Structure 1
Amino acid sequence: MFLEVSGGAKLFYTDDGSGDPPLLLVHGWGADSQQWAPHLPALTERHRVLAPDLRGHGYSSAPPDGNTPAAMAEDLAALLTRLGVDDCVAVGHSMGAVIVSRLAVEHPHLVRALVTIDPGYGYPDEVARLSLGLLPGLRGDDPGSAAARIDRWCYTPASPAWLREWHRRRLLATPPHVLAEAFEALWSGPEALGARPAADAYLSRRECPVLSFWASPAQAAWEEPLLKHPASRVVCWPGSGHRLHEERPAEFVVVLTDWLRSLQ
């Protein structure tokens, strides 16, 4: 299904299952909603599940500009409102975690709880500097190869080869200007949350319960004091890659659904 949102962007999304609370599944940079295919059968047994392709990704349209996490959060607010979803549990991976966090801060009435998966926020300054140094490659003669090189950090020796190849192909299918614009907005500018201390100040404004998954113990320890709601929880899976929910889909669903039950 498709829905037109702000700026003429047209979002592709699926709407499956039933049950409360509804879930909004938000993919990361250079991916699309197909990354939730391993999780959807189990999640739709108990919940209504919305899985959109972000603007510029997957089957959604790619505007010539405005392809930033802030704009994507507004797209999702429009999607929820148009579909009559009063509130949801917003689940986001990497850049998607930035987007759902923005949704929770700017539109708190729409987000009952958050689930963030190896979020693309709150990294030390040196990581931000290194990341911005990769931006010229995304705007160069071979942006697909540049994006694939960036993607290599997402894996460990335990990461399956099929997962690496699936995401390489998704990156190659994403318009280069979208990759560059979204990547830059994560690390630079007034809305960037990729680095501290901007992330600390903004994320502290999240009032709802948060379940946060990290592969890095250091990042998990950094975020935990920022979580205000007493039902919030940080889960750390050392040894996993950046896409830990895809590497360990069944375990991810068990932890997620157990936490959702605890909220009730």
Structure 2
Amino acid sequence: MRRHTLLGADGTPLAVLTFGEHREGAPAILLVHGWARSAAYWDEIATQLGRDRLVVVPALRMHGESLLLQSDGVDVSIPLLVADMRVILGGLGVTTCFAVGHSMGGQVVTLLADREPELVRGTVVLDPAYGASADEIAAAEARRRAHVATAEAEYLEQHPDASPEVVRRYADALAAFYDSEYLLDHSIGAIQATGPVLERRRRPALAVYATEIGVQTERALTSGAAVRPEILRWDLGGGHDFPAAHPGPVADLIGRWISRTSAAR
């Protein structure tokens, strides 16, 4: 594992981990963590996948080690995260990759592939944060408050020496990211905004869900897509955070799908 500090789309410093080495003919793998998580979420998965190729694992802005690189609050939004991924990959000399995202990271890699089809060979989304129903959107503000409070408490438990200012900036950023996922004009989290993006998919995709409703929603939204995804229900348990609960099987699934997809070109 190697540690890097790279500048994001607007010059914000970001912590990035890389695993493995670039190999000729083997696209890199980008792993994008979810809301209120960190690059460490992927450690075991990245180590396993890095045996065969370069794996790039950013700490998203205002998350994990990137939070500690930023002395002031910075702009946060899903579009900025997408732009950060493009800049980070370019800074590392990556010209083609498979992009894997969990939760909020599922939005990021889906939009990255939508905007940069020459960069992204294919996507894997693990319980992605899109396709929310009208009832979920109606309750989004209350859900945001509850989720931010929980994430703030978890951060304080993990970082008891964190200053009140850092904790406040972190909580504010999480609230802004949540809004960017679901409640703003550019958001794709609501089901009516998710559909058009998924229908435009031009690259292979694997969508893995912890719930049957997730499977059915993805299937309904992509029934008319030019490139329909492979959709799987995760059945080993672990809930929404099944990648952290079962890193070995998840890495196996990702690696096998990438190998199969690469061979089919």
Q: TM-score band (shorter)? A: 0.7 to 0.9
Q: What's 1:51 paired with? A: 57
In 2, distance between residues paired with 1:167 and 1:119? 26
1:235 matched to 2:232? The reply is: yes
Q: After TM superposition, give the deviation of residue 55 of structure 1 in Å.
A: 0.8
Q: Is the 8 Å Cα contact of residues 69 and 185 (structure 1) preserved in structure 2?
A: yes
Alignment counterpart, residue 16 of structure 2, candidates 9, 13, 16: 13
Q: Is the 8 Å Cα contact of residues 17 and 46 (structure 1) preserved in structure 2?
A: yes
Q: 1:188 to 1:8 in 2, by over 3 A?
A: same
Instruction: Calculate percent identity across the aligned residue pairs.
Output: 27
TM-score (norm 1): 0.84
Q: 1:38 to 1:219 in 2, by over 3 A?
A: same
Q: Is the 8 Å Cα contact of residues 24 and 90 (structure 1) preserved in structure 2?
A: yes
Q: 1:228 to 1:29 in 2, by over 3 A?
A: same
Q: After TM superposition, give the deviation of residue 65 of structure 1 in Å.
A: 4.4
Q: What's 2:256 paired with? A: 258
Higher RCO (CA 8 Å, separation ≥ 6 residues): 1
Question: RMSD value over aligned CA atoms?
Answer: 2.3
Unmatched runs of 5 consecutive residues or more in structure 2: none
Aligned partner letter, 2:55: V
1:131 matched to 2:140? The reply is: yes
Q: Is the 8 Å Cα contact of residues 185 and 191 (structure 1) preserved in structure 2?
A: yes
In 1, distance between residues paired with 2:208 and 2:254? 10
Q: Is the 8 Å Cα contact of residues 207 and 230 (structure 2) preserved in structure 1?
A: yes
1:207 matched to 2:192? The reply is: no
In 1, distance between residues paired with 2:157 and 2:120? 31
Unmatched runs of 5 consecutive residues or more in structure 1: 150-164
In 2, distance between residues paired with 1:48 and 1:255? 17
SS of match in other structure, 2:114? helix
TM-score (norm 2): 0.83
Q: What's 2:174 paired with? A: 179
For this pair of structures, how many residues does the alignment match?
242
Q: Is the 8 Å Cα contact of residues 123 and 219 (structure 1) preserved in structure 2?
A: no
Alignment of 1:160-179 (within 5 A): 169=158, 175-179=170-174
Aligned partner letter, 2:58: P
In 1, distance between residues paired with 2:88 and 2:98? 14
Q: After TM superposition, give the deviation of residue 214 of structure 1 in Å.
A: 0.2
Q: After TM superposition, give the deviation of residue 167 of structure 1 in Å.
A: 11
Q: What's 1:158 paired with? A: none
1:98 matched to 2:96? The reply is: no
Q: What's 1:152 paired with? A: none
Q: What's 2:215 paired with? A: 220
1:31 matched to 2:37? The reply is: yes
In 2, distance between residues paired with 1:124 and 1:212? 18
Q: Is the 8 Å Cα contact of residues 8 and 88 (structure 2) preserved in structure 1?
A: yes
1:192 matched to 2:187? The reply is: yes
In 1, distance between residues paired with 2:184 and 2:155? 31
Alignment counterpart, residue 244 of structure 2, candidates 233, 243, 246: 246
